[in-house]
Amino acid sequence: MTYLERVRHPADLIRMDPHELDVLAKEIREFLVSSVSRTGGHLGPNLGVVELTIALHRVFESPADRIVFDTGHQSYVHKLLTGRRDFSELRKRGGLSGYPSRAESDHDIVENSHASTSLSWADGIARANQLRGIDRSVVAVVGDGALTGGMAWEALNNIAEGQDRSLVIVVNDNGRSYAPTIGGLARHLDALRTLQGYERMLDWGRRTLQRSGPPGRLAFEALHGMKKGIKDVVAPQGMFEDLGIKYIGPVDGHDLEATETALARAKGFGGPVIVHAITEKGRGYTPAEEDIVDRFHSVGAIHPETGLPVAPSRFGWTAVFAEEIVEIGRRRSDVVGLTAAMLAPVGLAPFAEEFPDRVIDVGIAEQHAVTSAAGMAYAGLHPVIALYSTFLNRAFDQLLMDVALHRAGVTFVLDRAGLTGDDGASHNGMWDMALLRIVPGLRLAAPRDEQTLRAELNEAVAVEDGPTVVRYPKGALPDDLPALAQQGGIDILARRGGVPRVLVVGVGAMAHTAVEVGQGLDAQGIGSTVVDPRWVLPVPDELVRLAEQHDLVVTVEDGLASGGIGSALRDALGRAGVQVPVRCHGIPHAFLDHASRAQLVEAFALRGQDIARESAAAVSALDDGAPVPERQPEA
């Protein structure tokens, strides 16, 4: 039996001696590389927190002591130490989540994988413990990248008030989130890392000089004075202790004894404490240690020996954006790119290489990015903000009140829109269209293939009197889907059967499914027109006119069925006095468990064959004089 197999509960760690713990750490890294290389997942972050997580579970008594992981993509080691060793279906339906999950274990607290939230969670739990008379510790494990988020600093400001609340903040400082951490905080932490190296030199000097007698001790005192001068410049007291939060560190997060000692000191303090642990992302796995572009933050199936993908990725949506925005940048010097700590994942890295002065990485600070973009637009630039769709949720107020209210020409490019699947509830980009529908003056495009993405991105940056949005899904591109014709800005994709009775509206990447719906209706003798509006918000007038010419409208989208584009079209028809029933096919109004996109599409009856069958039944109901029931997909 391996040491890892002996750990069924964190208490099992207490019985291990230092040598056994070192072997355990090695076994955990071997397990992670072996398992994640088969399933995919967040490899680099977890390799970097092995010793830190072991130390946490030796010092604190989870789940009585609450351990909150910020973002949670570094929780695989925590899962292993709390008895979850079956990683064979990691991030697959029925298997372990890639993030903490309350359904899996009482040791898991926060399921939301959006960054910079852990300090607020921990503050809330600590306050509740105090009010209820519960004497237990609360621990927040937060990366240096997440500390670039404004919400983290709002929390720190309040945590500092609670001098009698046991709250330990562990800063897992690896200098990276998805990419190297940027900003003033990053420079300050760099200085502290430098100071740590100086203190090591000082320790060596002390041992050497003290052996040489009184003159040596005088030299040591001089060195100590130099150390004090350096601390006056970069001391952590200037950032944390002046807030009233005790600071311990920096500590080597891979030195298990040192890390455990620091955490034990913090636990014993009884008030808010920051433990600054320096770690190395990808520790112990050579391909990850040597990687300079952070390919191992999250991986698909890879060859464990080399770290190379098992199957090379097909040319994807993000790559098309990356190419086209560079072409736009060459033509227009006013176009600038903004990203929130995800330069490479959202496709802005090539733009940054060619135009380094025209890309701004704000860190994990979406709210700041959006309002800053409003200021840039006011001052004569055209900002392009590239985000994962799910992260736009965090900056909705800024989009509404700073960009839209001021009619600022800002373009939002939303990657991973719709069903992303494997990462679960907080990463599905399913909220964007329903949210953005309520923003006055906003225009939203949903491209269906490579050519429409290029065209609609160019159309978006040409708009200067309000916000524009271009949204597309995760992964590989579908085959091109050329239009038969264009009518009032609407792409006609197919006309099937005799008299067109059903207007099938495909939104973005679901346009291919809409064509399949038309084929299925044709097989049942029902004529249809299949269209792609291209720009779906506001609802085009021509789409209303087309709907009036049909007996039934069927919309297909990878956003919320309730309140999404189909609902917007139904409302537009009502305002125009057009009495045509609309059936909306989309994602249910619920949080979704992790599963593949294909599994979710099947579960929600979003395949072409499913929609064609339901649509044919609706046409039959119309022929029988019965009302067409509204469709509400079930979770």
79 catalytic per annotation: no
Q: How far is CA 344 from the centre of its chain?
A: 13
User: Roughly how many angstroms between the first and final C-alpha of the chain, as a whole number?
Assistant: 42
Dihedral sign for Cα atoms in the order 6, 10, 14, 16: positive
285 annotated to a ligand binding site? yes
Please report how the helices 184-210 and 214-234 are oriented relative to each other, as an axis angle in degrees rounded to 10. 170
267 catalytic per annotation: no
122 annotated to a ligand binding site? no
- For residues 416 and 474, is the Cβ–Cβ distance under 8 A? yes
How far apart (Å, rounded) are the C-alpha atoms in residues 635 and 621?
25
Q: What is the β-pairing status of strands 582-587 and 535-537? A: unpaired
How far apart (Å, rounded) are the C-alpha atoms in residues 561 and 605?
12
Rg (CA), the chain: 28
Give start and end residues of each alpha helix (H) in 82-117.
none
Residues 6+ apart with CB under 8 A from 412: 384, 385, 387, 392, 399, 467, 468, 469, 470
Q: Which of 260, 324, 366, 557 is catalytic?
A: 366
Q: Which of 84, 165, 267, 281 is catalytic?
A: 281
394 catalytic per annotation: yes
DSSP element (H, E) containing 357:
none
The Cα-based distances of 165 to 109, 159, 478 in angstroms read 19, 9, 54
Residue type, 266: A
541 annotated to a ligand binding site? no
466 annotated to a ligand binding site? no
Q: How far is CA 428 from the centre of its chain?
A: 9
- For residues 521 and 618, is the Cβ–Cβ distance under 8 A? no
509 annotated to a ligand binding site? no
* CA nearest to 536, candidates 407, 419, 376, 417: 417
- Whether residue 581 has a cis bond before it, omega within 30° of 0: no
* CA nearest to 489, candidates 425, 542, 558, 426: 542
422 annotated to a ligand binding site? no
Please report how the helices 541-548 and 565-576 are oriented relative to each other, as an axis angle in degrees rounded to 10. 70
- For residues 556 and 614, is the Cβ–Cβ distance under 8 A? no
Phi and psi of 138, rounded to 5°? -125, 130
155 annotated to a ligand binding site? no
366 annotated to a ligand binding site? yes
SS3 153: helix
Q: What is the β-pairing status of strands 527-532 and 490-496? A: antiparallel
Q: Which of 176, 358, 394, 437 is catalytic?
A: 394
* CA nearest to 348, candidates 457, 461, 356: 356
73 annotated to a ligand binding site? yes
* CA nearest to 437, candidates 568, 576, 555: 568
Dihedral sign for Cα atoms in the order 531, 535, 537, 540: negative
SS3 32: helix
Q: How far is CA 593 from the centre of its chain?
A: 16
427 annotated to a ligand binding site? no
Give me the residues paired with residue 413 across strands.
386, 470
Burial degree of 605 (CB within 10 A; 0-12, 13-18, 19+): middle
The Cα-based distances of 163 to 124, 135, 271, 632 in angstroms read 14, 14, 5, 50
Q: How far is CA 279 from the centre of its chain?
A: 22
* CA nearest to 274, candidates 165, 170, 161: 170
SS3 504: strand
Which tokens is 393 given?
Answer: 């949720």
Q: Point out the residues that are catalytic.
A: 281, 366, 394
Binding site for Mg(2+), by residue number, is: 144, 174
Binding site, by residue number, is: 73, 113-115, 144-146, 174, 285, 366
Binding site for thiamine diphosphate, by residue number, is: 73, 113-115, 145-146, 174, 285, 366
